[in-house]
Amino acid sequence: MSQGFRLGAFTIRRLQGGVFEVDGGSMFGVVPKALWEQKCAATPDNHVLLANSPMLLHTGQSNVLIETGLGNKLTPKQKGIFRVRAEWELVAGLARLGLCREAISHVILTHGDFDHAGGVTMLGDSGGLELTFPAAMHYMQRQEWEDVLAPNIRSADAYWPENFAGLVEGKNLHLVDGEEEIMPGVRVERTGGHTRGHQAVWLESGGQIALHLGDLLPMPCNSNPLWITAYDNFPLDSVAAKERFLAQAGAKDAWLLFYHDPKILACKLDGDGAVREPFCAQ
Ligand SMILES: [Zn+2]
């Protein structure tokens, strides 16, 4: 078994949340392909390969999951539409680490889009819908939850009710108002931008700091604050939040964690966006 990415006393491992392809332009908004293609390989028909990488954070006391991947509920038609290239193997991956579903105590969602929250519920052995991590408290921003419950005509495409079935506030769902320390060294902070209630995750242990920016920074090639995705519902908020959070990360010499990059789990970024010290293994 790999050693995982060490952050002080914390260990972070990347799990298989499914791999899919999306239109390349949608990952870079108004940036022309002639520019983004220099930093991100495209398929012949202009798609880019995206991993979905739930991260298992072992703090020493708790097993925390950041994001949950695509899940196992996609229909064959949906798999074709989203060009799924690798299946969701979150539960199997945890089993290989010696962890059952009940061993996960905390699930943190940066936001409610299906590629991040799709694994909150799963089709069990009997074929019924069940919570994937029945013993876990799930953490989302209150703003995000309110939007999940009452999506607008655009966000309804990505907020799927079946991904949240069984979550009950106070029982297994904890709603955060802005900023909160979930446990020592694990803190969430609302960013807005991509979605109104999108949040970032700060990790700190042994003097080392890491920042998970969710879909505000899907891959290192999105490091330019203006290279935001076309999916961002509040683009100017995304730009401002990226500038602010990346400045904080730079000042703290923090690691950045990437949910969608096919290779890089963590790295540091120079001021010009150059990747430093990439960590690519599981
Ligand atoms: Zn995403």
What is the DSSP annotation of 96-164? HTT--GGG--EEE-S---HHHHTTSEEE-TTS-EEESSTTPEEEEEHHHHHHHHS--TTGGGT--GGGS
What is the distance in A from the centroid of ligand 1 to the CA of 125?
27
What is the distance in A from the centroid of ligand 1 to the CA of 265?
15
* pLDDT digit string, tens, across residues 106-132: 999 999 999 999 999 999 999 999 999
What is the distance in A from the centroid of ligand 1 to the CA of 98?
28
User: For the whole prediction, is pTM greater than 0.95?
Assistant: yes
Q: Which domains does the chain have, with CATH numbers?
A: 5-279 (3.60.15.10)
Which uninterrupted H or E stretch holds 173? Answer: strand 173-176
Q: What's the confidence (pLDDT) of residue 273?
A: 85
What is the distance in A from the centroid of ligand 1 to the CA of 115?
5
Q: Does 282 score more than 70 pLDDT?
A: no
Q: What's the confidence (pLDDT) of residue 63?
A: 98
Residues 214-229, mean pLDDT to the nearest whole number:
95
Q: Does 1 score more than 70 pLDDT?
A: no
